[in-house]
Structure 1
Amino acid sequence: MPQASFSLGGLPQSTDEEEPMEVSELLQQTHQLPNVPDVVRELIQQLNNPKADYSVIADKIIHDQTLSLKVLRLVNSAHFGLSRKITSINEAIVLLGMTQLKTMVVASGFAGSVKEVEGLDLKRFWSESFEVAALSKWFAAKSKDVDPDTAFTVGLIHNIGQLLLHLSKPKLAEAIVKLIDETGCSRSAAEMERLNFTTAEAGQALLKYWQFPTSLGEAVRYHKQPFAAETPNSLSAIVNIACYINTCIQHNQPIDDVITQFPTAVAELAGLPDDIAETSEEAMQLRSGLDELL
């Protein structure tokens, strides 16, 4: 997605308290890292495995009371409009299918990974992440190259590096937000000035620490600039487009402008049809329906 142009030379200099650091420093205090349930990690590691035994995973979900209750609350929400109350995960699988259940479990697991973060509105953070995830899955379903479940997961965690920064270095995170507000520079420019790396890179480092598939980390790192990767890939391109549409929604962008400014080169990389920009209005009506998890 195009970044606002800004001269780094014009940014205020860091104070001694905000000296540039290494990505690895964010991972050193392991007790502060997001706590993602093991069953969620297993689901993500099995994303592209056609031989995955989801009956075993479903059994693990059943025995995780927190996850089960959250998922059942969502299944019984108005968003799904089911004719009767669902009382067990097994019933949910029968009615919704394992694919839909996986979406809910992954979303719930990440949204519950931390309870409170200094300087970050967690509810807003995850709500926006849910929307990008839903859009990523929607566009991936129209792509010839990208698995929708994988796209959903990357969309969900595309900003996980920002969460990590707020957890590990809240004062630096606050300084970055202040710099953006005061100068109007892009977030990436502010992060490079204050950190010497971006939170997208930090997100990739966290996913590597969690031993998630390498492709997920690469997609997170390059979702803002898919063509910056040594080998540009369709997964980061899908998330880039999802972020573009989500930004247009947040800024109430007129649909004609959304279509005119649609990143067509990124859409081509994503394996999307030539006329995909024409579906923008439909995409902008999409809602994740996952806020019940918060």
Structure 2
Amino acid sequence: MELNALLEQPITLPSLPRTVALLMNELGSAEPDLRRLNLLFGADPALAARLLQEANSGHFGAQRQVCGIAEALVLLGMAQLRTLVTTAPLGTTSRSVPGIQLQQFWRYSLNTAKLARALAGLVHQSQIAAYTAGLLHGVGELALHMVDPERMQTVNNLMAPLDIRRALLEQHLFGYCYGQVSAGMAVRWRLPEALVDALRHHHAPFDNDVYEPLAGVLHLAAWRARAREAGLGERELAVTFPGEVGVVLGLDIDTVLQQDPIDWKACPEADDYV
């Protein structure tokens, strides 16, 4: 299937049931806590995408495109937020996205967002944009599995969805990879161009005509989070570290590894999101 044809398909991303339940509880209170709403929306790629899509729809007269969850929350009223959350589809079964372990995907996306934010701070890039890019960069993988589950199962038999080399395999087989699907979806959500560029090029930051540091930041963050999911040891980390990207950003492997979230199993509301 061609990329444009794939992007024309109706794709409804599933949300983490626990996050939806916590949001419904918070939004049901007399005075919802914006900080807690920020934490919870920032823990779920699908909810964050829907929130940002709504904020960038043009209904709110924003002077510029919104890329951060906190800013999007300020634009929307509580009634709109309640509707957004109550209508969110839930990823409750293994069949929600065939071929994808959703709990692993949600954890991976959150960890990538945290790492991207930390790395962006070191190289003076927008931490807000980096966090959002990290949270959303993998939604294209969900879309691929939802639109063409049989083909993707064949691909999964060759390599796991979160393998470090996954983008290269998809690029070889299809002519595009999950990152380009994520970017195409972000265009339809009217997200800022810098964010779209980071999603589109993060798997190969130097393939873009103009190198974008945010794409490099996201590349390193995704590498580390995928390596964590794969349980790579010190030697494998050293061998697979994308050193050429690190050199351009001025980040060596030790610096990247030091940005790991302190507790990879922490519950969503335990950390600050942007």
Secondary structure of the residue aligned to 1:119 is coil
Offset at 1:132? 0.5
Cα distance 1:228–1:47, how it changes in 2: closer, same or farther (>3 A)? same
In structure 1, the gaps of 5 or more residues are 1-20, 70-108
CA displacement, residues 110-150 of structure 1 (integer Å, 9 cap, x when unaligned):
xx665322222212111101000100001111112x10010
Corresponding residue of 2:67: 47
Match for 2:112 among 106, 114, 132? 132
Contact 1:27/1:33, CA 8 A, preserved across alignment: no
Give the equivalent residue in structure 1 for 2:152.
173
The correspondence of residues 105-124 of structure 1 with structure 2, limited to 5 A, is: 115=91, 116-124=96-104
Q: TM-score, normalised by structure 1?
A: 0.62
In structure 1, the residue corresponding to 2:159 is in which secondary structure?
helix
State the one-letter code of the partner of 2:177: T
Aligned counterpart, 2:139: 160
Letter in 2 for 1:27: L
- 1:47-69 deviations in whole A, cap 9, x for unaligned? 38xxx977843x62575237789
Partner of 2:167: 188
Paired residues for 1:176-255 under 5 Å: 176-180=155-159, 186-255=165-234
Which amino acid is 1:139 matched to? Answer: L
Query: Offset at 1:171?
Result: 1.1
Q: RMSD value over aligned CA atoms?
A: 3.6
Inter-CA distance 292–209: structure 2 relative to 1 (3 Å threshold): same
The number of aligned residues is: 221
TM-score by length of 2: 0.66
* TM-fit CA distance, 1:177: 0.8
Which protein has the larger Cα radius of gyration, Structure 1 or Structure 2?
Answer: 1
Is the 2:116–2:134 Cα contact (8 Å) retained in structure 1?
yes
Where does structure 2 lack aligned partners over 5 or more consecutive residues? 14-45, 57-63
Identity of aligned residues (%): 21
What one-letter code is carried by the residue in structure 1 that aligns with 2:5?
A: E
Query: What's the CA shift for 1:258?
Result: 4.2
SS at match of 2:259: helix
Q: Counterpart of 1:45 in 2: which secondary structure?
A: coil
Q: Secondary structure at the match of 1:127?
A: helix
